[in-house]
Structure 1
Amino acid sequence: MLPPGRIAVVIPSYRVTRHILGVIAGIGPEVTRIYVVDDKCPDGSGALVRNSCADPRVRVLEHDENQGVGGAVMTGYRAAIEDGMDVIVKIDGDGQMDPRLIARFVAPILRGEADYSKGNRFFDLEQIRAMPTVRLVGNALLSLMTKLSSGYWDLFDPTNGFTAIHAGVARHLPFNRISRRYFFETDMLFRLNTLHAVVVDVPMDARYGDEVSNLKISKIVTEFLVKHSRNFVKRIFYNYYLRTMSLASIELPVGLALVVVGAVYGIVHWIESARAGVGTPAGTVMLAALPILMGVQLILAFLADDIASVPKRPLHKTAGYERLPCNE
């Protein structure tokens, strides 16, 4: 049995007319409201749902311009918050996500154990074999980048779009600044970390049918690398210098400085020795190696502190947090 709570489901709708009615039909009675967001779908999926779906829980929202999956989800979030929902689940309309798992995603949030839950298709090693190799390798690489940029070192499968969030936390997200396209799921993790929200992975199986994915991992790795680097710098600044100071705030810059100084010193003297045709003295090598080794040690210490600082206390349990106004 789930703890009591009003559950909403948001379904971004773009070129999913073959599957979306089946997805809606599979959503169980535990859900209070279903928001289908037609993101200027050229196939008219919003009209299809409005004309063919008799489920009274369904509300169709339509965009005048395509805003991407992130924009569609933000529209659904706003509607769910306005309607007084407690937990908001996001699933895709292409049939890759099993609606029967909704209860599994909302349970840790309703029990007060997490603020946000997301799917993890890598939990069952046997199920991983069903995942295409390119997608498997791409997700592994993206997961590593996400750990660095978001600060959630215990999470995997960052592009998984099966998620649930407490409405009291969702209202504090900067809706107008979250990435609108394929970087949406990973940018959400970065934004949640800046709020110190608790995020958990929910094991799920990978499902692949006749749906066509618009996400080509091989084409977005470079773009994602740039955006992850930007978010990493912003997260470090926000969490270690703007909001608070700790030993980790000293370890990172000192460690980086020592590595740079040691590397520059070593390279300069190696070039001078090469030009002179003589071997580099052992003392010079040690003077170059020592700061590099010390710097690496400090950087590793910073990473250990960063891993240990993953949020553990659910944000929505903070007294009075839910009553603050929605952050646009």
Structure 2
Amino acid sequence: MSNMNISVVIPSYKVKAHVLDVIARIGPEVSLIYVVDDRCPQQSGLYVQEHVQDPRVKVVFNERNLGVGGATMAGYRAAVEDGADVVVKVDGDGQMDPTLIGQFVAPIIAGEADYTKGNRFFDLDEIGNMPLLRLFGNSVLSLMSKVSTGYWDLFDPTNGFTAIHANVIRHLPLHKISNRYFFETDILFRLYSLRAVVADIPMDSKYGDEVSGLKISQIIGEFLCKHVRNTFKRTFYSYYLRDMSLASIELPLGVLLFLFGSIFGGYHWYESSKLGQTASAGTVMLSGLCTLVGLQLILAFLAHDINNVPRRPIFRKLFAKKIKEQFQ
């Protein structure tokens, strides 16, 4: 697959029963495989070293448990230091099919994307195989992710099957990215800050005897708070710090008018009902007009934001700069 150096990162934590099979199914297009032992209580790193025969495998040991995000970023650093061009991340629990790696790296090699991620919701026939609670949880998280990351055309944000160009990794603030289960969504937020192009890759998932550590009921509150934080940060960065447009005016004006209309109308409705009097036509008109105009401005901002999804891969510019330096 071209002359690109493709590496695979496999975070390893309590996946001793599956990790060797995952490694065995990785094709010859991959140059190096990094198994990151995230202070695994099963000592999966040592287990891999003792039993794997594949010379491409390198084991990275974290001194303390960092979570899936921290383990992935440790693998990213190792792969970039060894000269990788594209780095693929595959979970070690066997839910992902490593034979799909070619499909994940193809858009990056072709210059169509900077980052690709799996989407288990693409094939409607396969959605029925997903546990109902997980299906509902992913739908809610996907909606929140669209708002906070700016990638309105993506779905299944917690999908851990990903591929990224090494030049993009070099420009990511890895030390700021969430270490644990919010990692996949937080990296999308960081990628949007770089204006990176992200593409969904259709895939199926297997659900066998593996145990997922992601419990929707336990993380929904944490995820909600972090999504709200990232939404405010992304909006400020994109529409007030780096650039200003008509949308920069539409959002605050729309929110102010909507809140004023809603509060003003609600207050006078309460007063009228308490006194048994009908509110004046002017009061009703003012409340309704402010509320509707405010809502329209907010919708106009959302339409602009949806159309503002990055479309031009950033690593093209990085490659162009590198080629220019070589010929100087």
* TM-score of the superposed pair, with normalisation by structure 1: 0.96
Q: Does 2:68 match 1:69?
A: yes
Distance in 1 (alpha carbons) for counterparts of 2:104 and 2:147 = 24
How far apart are residue 280 of structure 1 and its match?
Answer: 1.3
Specify the SS of the correspondent of 1:181: coil
Check whether the contact 1:74–1:175 (CA below 8 A) recurs between aligned residues.
Answer: yes
How far apart are residue 322 of structure 1 and its match?
Answer: 7.7
How far apart are residue 279 of structure 1 and its match?
Answer: 1.4
Specify the SS of the correspondent of 1:59: strand
How far apart are residue 217 of structure 1 and its match?
Answer: 1.3
Residue in 2 aligned with 1:282? Answer: 281
Q: Does 2:29 match 1:23?
A: no
Distance in 1 (alpha carbons) for counterparts of 2:161 and 2:236 = 30
Residue in 1 aligned with 2:103? Answer: 104
Q: Deviations over 1:145-168 (max 9, x none)?
A: 000000000000011000000000
Following superposition of structure 1 onto structure 2, how do residues 256-267 of structure 1 map, counting pairs within 5 Å?
256-267=255-266
Distance in 2 (alpha carbons) for counterparts of 1:322 and 1:77 = 23
Check whether the contact 1:316–1:322 (CA below 8 A) recurs between aligned residues.
Answer: no
Read off the aligned partner of 1:264 and give its amino acid letter.
I
Distance in 2 (alpha carbons) for counterparts of 1:27 and 1:320 = 28
Distance in 1 (alpha carbons) for counterparts of 2:270 and 2:139 = 39
Check whether the contact 1:255–1:296 (CA below 8 A) recurs between aligned residues.
Answer: yes
Residue in 1 aligned with 2:13? Answer: 14
Check whether the contact 1:161–1:185 (CA below 8 A) recurs between aligned residues.
Answer: yes
Residue in 2 aligned with 1:225? Answer: 224
Across the aligned residues of Structure 1 and Structure 2, the Cα RMSD in angstroms comes to 1.1
Distance in 2 (alpha carbons) for counterparts of 1:321 and 1:3 = 18
List structure 1 segments (4+ residues) > 3 angstroms apart after TM superposition. Answer: 319-323
Rate the CA distance shift 1:181–1:321 in 2: closer, same or farther, 3 A.
Answer: farther
Specify the SS of the correspondent of 1:176: helix
Specify the SS of the correspondent of 1:201: strand
Residue in 1 aligned with 2:151? Answer: 152
Distance in 2 (alpha carbons) for counterparts of 1:252 and 1:318 = 31
Q: Does 2:320 match 1:310?
A: no
How far apart are residue 207 of structure 1 and its match?
Answer: 1.0
Residue in 1 aligned with 2:134? Answer: 135
Rate the CA distance shift 1:210–1:321 in 2: closer, same or farther, 3 A.
Answer: farther
- Segment drifting more, 270-279 vs 58-67: 270-279
Q: Which runs of 5+ in 1 are unaligned?
A: 324-328
Q: Deviations over 1:268-305 (max 9, x none)?
A: 22233233321112221111010110000000000000
Q: Does 2:179 match 1:180?
A: yes
How far apart are residue 188 of structure 1 and its match?
Answer: 0.8
- Segment drifting more, 127-136 vs 279-288: 279-288
Rate the CA distance shift 1:6–1:181 in 2: closer, same or farther, 3 A.
Answer: same
Distance in 2 (alpha carbons) for counterparts of 1:319 and 1:6 = 17
How far apart are residue 233 of structure 1 and its match?
Answer: 0.4
Q: Deviations over 1:53-80 (max 9, x none)?
A: 1211111000111000000011010111
Specify the SS of the correspondent of 2:293: helix
Distance in 2 (alpha carbons) for counterparts of 1:306 and 1:71 = 30
How far apart are residue 320 of structure 1 and its match?
Answer: 5.4
Check whether the contact 1:168–1:322 (CA below 8 A) recurs between aligned residues.
Answer: no
Rate the CA distance shift 1:23–1:50 in 2: closer, same or farther, 3 A.
Answer: same
Q: Does 2:65 match 1:42?
A: no
Read off the aligned partner of 1:121 and give its amino acid letter.
R
Residue in 2 aligned with 1:200? Answer: 199
Residue in 2 aligned with 1:255? Answer: 254
Specify the SS of the correspondent of 2:291: helix
Read off the aligned partner of 1:228 and give its amino acid letter.
H
Check whether the contact 2:167–2:318 (CA below 8 A) recurs between aligned residues.
Answer: no
Q: Which runs of 5+ in 2 are unaligned?
A: 323-328
Distance in 2 (alpha carbons) for counterparts of 1:25 and 1:307 = 41
- Segment drifting more, 42-51 vs 271-280: 271-280
Residue in 2 aligned with 1:268? Answer: 267
Q: Deviations over 1:244-271 (max 9, x none)?
A: 0011111100000100111122122223
Residue in 1 aligned with 2:234? Answer: 235
